[in-house]
Chains A and B, each alone.
Chain A
Amino acid sequence: MKLAIVIPVYNEEKVIKGVINSIPRKIKGVDKIEIIAVNDGSTDNSAEEIKKTRAKLIDLPINLGYGGASITGLEVAKILRSDIVVTFDGDGQHDSQDIDKIIKPIIAHKTNIVIGTRFADTQGMPFYKKWGIQTMNFIIFCLSGSWVSDSQSGLKAFSKKALERLRFDTSGMEFASEVIIEARRKRLKIYEVPTQTIYTSYSKSKGQNLLNGVNIIIKILYKQLVGP
């Protein structure tokens, strides 16, 4: 079983090396782990920091956005013929020990997509973020019919089958929502697994603002109405 961990990186020179080094070298049920760090046109030294690690660096010539970088990473995972792919944020908000937890349902063939939910323990989560995510959950539910407790989570796992069937075409933060809508359209099962979130002043500063939320809704609605 080959596992690929996709990390979209945009201006994360301060933390990216630590994030990559924290990823376990061995996971039960996995023969090979490949880390794919997608440098999304960073203007700082993120690419140089990635080169110092064991991750494979994919350097995008311009900034495509969170979705664009994630989709590029998923493409790389497909080329490398990975059996399971995990998307993992580059800002250090995820606990790398959770990778094991979110791939387990896929290894056990219970599901095709797993989302790591931050809502099992919301201690430390800013109020506006909690409210914003829940609003997005409701909108995604109205658009897809699938209810998930954390539609905006960046920690996700995909089976090979899911990767082959899902078609993404967003480029920004709306990618997280697109995964759920697209999974429902392709009748792929989604599991949720409670995960830890590491709230530091750095990871909080990298969060989304209200305007971005409005932008996500417009883009998702546009895609639903007009198509890809």
Chain B
Amino acid sequence: MILIISKIFALALAIMVVSRSITDFRSKKESLQMTMFWIAIWLAVISITFFPAVITKTIDALGGDRTGLGTIFGMAIVFILFISYRVYVKSHRIEKQVNKIARTIALQDLKKPLKK
């Protein structure tokens, strides 16, 4: 039962993200490369969800017994942490720039008479 729910959940998320990405691409908010990247990522997620045997085959291809499921999970977590960090850094940078612009606009009138 839990397996079916998780499959439905993954599929719903994938449809949401991919359709959003395509809509953004059509309205020129997202580049073709970025749209293709998200489609590929979510196709991979769906493949793993519906065909878990892919993981076993991948492990075998990467060296059989020496590469366990834990290694794959570990690598996935490191990758997700790296992506989260990059997104956080980027959003922090954008937040600082937005603050600067908003402050400049708010202080515009105040600075004018003092410059004279």
The reply to whether the CB of B30 lies closer than 8 angstroms to some CB of chain A is no
Instruction: Mark B residues whose CB is within 8 Å of A.
Output: 88-89, 92, 95-96, 98-99, 102-103, 105-107, 110-111, 114
**Contact indicator A76/B102 (Cβ below 8 Å):** no
The reply to whether the CB of A226 lies closer than 8 angstroms to some CB of chain B is yes
Main secondary structure of the interface of B (DSSP, over half): helix
A214 to chain B, nearest CB (A): 14
**Contact indicator B99/A76 (Cβ below 8 Å):** no
Given contacts A171-B99, A222-B92, contact A72 B111 (CB under 8 A): no
**Contact indicator B103/A75 (Cβ below 8 Å):** yes
| 17 A-B contact pairs sorted by A residue (CB < 8 Å) | A38-B106, A58-B106, A60-B102, A61-B102, A61-B106, A62-B98, A64-B98, A64-B99, A64-B102, A64-B103, A68-B103, A71-B103, A72-B103, A72-B106, A75-B103, A169-B96, A222-B92
> What's the Cα separation between A169 and B114 when bound, in Å?
25
> What's the Cα separation between A60 and B103 when bound, in Å?
7
> What's the Cα separation between A71 and B114 when bound, in Å?
20
**Contact indicator A68/B99 (Cβ below 8 Å):** yes
> What's the Cα separation between A59 and B110 when bound, in Å?
11
> What's the Cα separation between A2 and B47 when bound, in Å?
68
Residues of B within 8 A of A169 (CB): 96
A-B residue pairs, 7 tightest by C-beta: A60-B106, A72-B103, A68-B99, A61-B105, A60-B102, A62-B102, A58-B106
A198 to chain B, nearest CB (A): 29
B77 to chain A, nearest CB (A): 18
Across the interface, B107 reaches (CB within 8 A) one of A64, A79, A171, A222, namely: A79
Residues of B within 8 A of A58 (CB): 106-107, 110
Across the interface, B102 reaches (CB within 8 A) one of A68, A79, A226, namely: A68
> What's the Cα separation between A38 and B105 when bound, in Å?
13
Given contacts A61-B102, A64-B102, contact A79 B89 (CB under 8 A): no
**Contact indicator B98/A79 (Cβ below 8 Å):** no
Residues of A within 8 A of B92 (CB): 222
Residues of B within 8 A of A60 (CB): 102-103, 105-106
For A53-82 the 0/1 string (1 means CB < 8 A from B) is 000001111101000100110011001000
Best-surrounded residue of B102, B105, B110 (most CB of chain A within 10 A): B102
Across the interface, A72 reaches (CB within 8 A) one of B89, B98, B107, namely: B107
Residues of A within 8 A of B110 (CB): 58, 76, 79
B49 to chain A, nearest CB (A): 30
B79 to chain A, nearest CB (A): 20
What residue of chain A has the Cβ atom nearest to residue B95's Cβ? Answer: A171
**Contact indicator B88/A79 (Cβ below 8 Å):** no
B23 to chain A, nearest CB (A): 25
Residues of B within 8 A of A171 (CB): 95-96, 99
**Contact indicator A59/B114 (Cβ below 8 Å):** no
Residues of A within 8 A of B106 (CB): 38, 58-61, 72
What residue of chain B has the Cβ atom nearest to residue A59's Cβ? Answer: B106
Residues of A within 8 A of B89 (CB): 226
> What's the Cα separation between A142 and B99 when bound, in Å?
28
Residues of B within 8 A of A62 (CB): 98, 102
> What's the Cα separation between A222 and B90 when bound, in Å?
13
